[in-house]
């Protein structure tokens, strides 16, 4: 088999989606499967849909186009505010998009008119993460401007949490967000189809004992793919954390002495030494490095220690029996490592488990509108 490679268990992704959709559904919350962490891989996206995701979302138009080229039939949303230069591509590939800039929305409206379609708009609200989002005091004015435009239709609002500042949302923040949804409806009319409350970091709130208010959608990527809650890193009960495995080949084995003391001209070099060797240590090297993944996001094999890495070498220490030359070493990944590895040109993806189904858009029934986010 080719190395390095990522082994993907589609059955576990389907199961994770089923589990979380089954828990959120009774609370009135649908699941949108976010595929940006896997670069819009069609089979993985379909596994999410098979598991109960109402729709798909991605942050890059290239990933959306990959899904469309593979024949994905469900609606797909762009969750990063579109580039002004890509307005036509966004309208041609996505039913809806998240937006924060009125100039971009105007460009999408013009592109939709040229395309003979109506593009759905979700307005992202700044609720404390301080990344993307319209300040609440400006939201009403922008919403009214969107309502007056031809070529676009205001479908709902969304919020983001724990992406930039790493803080999970509080019940008070979520209640304020629901109040904003009610106020926008009061001013503009009862039209908000979707109130998307956030991402995987919202799960503790969404599954808590309190009411979830107006929120009827969560955009979930990390929770489905890795089975963990991103703020704490804790495993979500009943979810698989090993749907993805990174496999690399051993290209050198042996023992080497500890490095000599040197003067580090560049301070950042000191941080690259993960484990300081002492005396002679047994170690091995695998054919993978910083160009392939986030090395610090890898879980080392049991008993092994990360010594360091360069662009294309990963050096691992082991107190026990060394792997043989040409053998394979398996790693679990966090979300950063997964994203980098899926985007690396030299890492192949091997799909495990039963093949996904291909339900048509017309067979998704009452959840069709939820697939807009």
Domains and CATH numbers, the chain: 9-241 (3.20.20.10), 244-333 (no CATH)
Write down the pLDDT at residue 123: 98
Which pLDDT tens digit goes with each residue over 52-78? 999 999 999 999 999 999 998 778 999
Write down the pLDDT at residue 280: 58
Q: Which residue has the tokens 């858009």?
A: 361
Q: Say how many C-beta atoms besides its own lie within 10 A of residue 291's C-beta.
A: 14
125 forms beta bridges with 134, 159
Residue 272: partners with Cβ closer than 8 Å, 6 or more residues away: 308, 309
Task: Return d(Cα 241, Cα 125) in angstroms, integer.
Answer: 31
Which pLDDT band holds residue 373 (cuts at 50, 70, 90)? very low
Task: Return d(Cα 354, Cα 357) in angstroms, integer.
Answer: 9
Which pLDDT tens digit goes with each residue over 172-192? 999 999 999 999 999 998 789
Alpha-helical runs (H) found in 311-351 = 335-343
Which pLDDT band holds residue 268 (cuts at 50, 70, 90)? low
Write down the pLDDT at residue 264: 45
Write down the pLDDT at residue 362: 32
Cα–Cα–Cα angle for 44, 61, 333, rounded to 5 degrees = 40
Q: For the purposes of burial, counting CB atoms within 10 Å of the CB of 266, is it exposed (0-12), middle (13-18) or buried (19 or more)?
A: exposed
- Give CA separation, 242 vs 9, 10, 91, 230, in Å: 8, 11, 36, 15
- Give CA separation, 177 vs 74, 125, 266, 358, in Å: 28, 8, 46, 36
278, 43 Cβ separation under 8 angstroms: no
Task: Return d(Cα 151, Cα 107) in angstroms, integer.
Answer: 10
Strands (E) located in 221-360: 244-257, 280-286, 298-299, 305-309, 314-317, 328-333, 348-352
Query: Which of 55, 98, 112, 115 has its CA nearest to residue 361?
Result: 55
Q: What is the DSSP letter of 197?
A: -
Phi-psi region of 340 (alpha: psi -120 to 50; beta: other; left: phi over 0): alpha
Enter the tokens of residue 241.
Answer: 């954390």
Q: Which residue has the higher pLDDT, 260 or 364?
A: 260
Q: Is 218 helix (H, G, I), strand (E, B) or coil?
A: strand
Residue 169: partners with Cβ closer than 8 Å, 6 or more residues away: 127, 128, 159, 161, 162, 197, 198, 201, 202, 205
pTM: 0.89
Q: Is the pLDDT reported for residue 336 higher than 50?
A: yes
Write down the pLDDT at residue 363: 33
Q: Is the pLDDT reported for residue 364 higher than 50?
A: no
Q: Is the pLDDT reported for residue 275 higher than 60?
A: no
Q: In this structure, what are the phi and psi dihedrals at residue 221, rounded to the nearest 5 degrees?
A: -120, -70
């Amino acid at each position: 088999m080719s190395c390095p490679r990522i082994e993907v268990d589609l059955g576990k992704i389907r199961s994770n989606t089923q589990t979380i959709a089954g828990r959120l559904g009774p609370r009135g919350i649908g699941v949108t499967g976010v595929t940006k962490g896997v670069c819009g891989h069609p089979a993985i996206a379909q596994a999410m849909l098979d598991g109960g995701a109402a729709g798909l979302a991605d942050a890059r138009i290239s990933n959306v186009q990959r899904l469309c080229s593979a024949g994905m039939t469900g609606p797909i949303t762009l969750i990063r505010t579109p580039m002004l230069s890509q307005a036509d591509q966004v309208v041609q590939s996505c039913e809806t998009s998240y937006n924060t800039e009125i100039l971009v929305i105007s460009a999408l409206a013009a592109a939709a008119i040229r395309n003979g379609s109506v593009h759905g708009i979700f307005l992202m609200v700044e609720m404390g993460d301080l990344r993307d989002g319209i300040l609440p005091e400006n939201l009403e004015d922008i919403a009214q401007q969107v309502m007056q435009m031809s070529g676009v239709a205001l479908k709902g609002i969304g919020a983001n949490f724990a992406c930039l500042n790493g803080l999970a949302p509080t019940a008070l923040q979520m209640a304020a967000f629901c109040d904003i949804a009610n106020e926008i409806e009061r001013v503009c009319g009862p039209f908000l189809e979707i109130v998307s409350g956030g991402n995987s970091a919202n799960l503790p709130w969404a599954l808590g004992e309190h009411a979830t208010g107006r929120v009827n959608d969560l955009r979930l990527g990390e929770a489905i793919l890795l089975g963990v809650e991103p703020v704490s890193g804790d495993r979500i009960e009943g979810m698989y954390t090993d749907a993805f495995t990174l496999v690399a080949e051993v290209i050198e084995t042996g023992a080497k002495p500890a490095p000599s003391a040197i003067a580090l001209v560049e301070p950042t070099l000191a941080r690259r030494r993960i484990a300081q060797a002492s005396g002679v240590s047994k170690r091995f090297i695998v054919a993978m490095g910083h160009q392939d993944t986030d090395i610090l996001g890898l879980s080392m094999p049991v008993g092994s220690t990360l010594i360091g890495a360069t662009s294309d070498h990963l050096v691992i220490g082991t107190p026990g029996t060394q792997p043989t030359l040409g053998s394979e070493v398996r790693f679990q990944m966090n979300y950063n490592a997964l994203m980098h590895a899926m985007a690396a040109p030299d890492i192949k993806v091997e799909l495990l488990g039963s093949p996904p189904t291909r339900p048509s858009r017309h067979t998704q029934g009452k959840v069709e509108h939820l697939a807009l986010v």
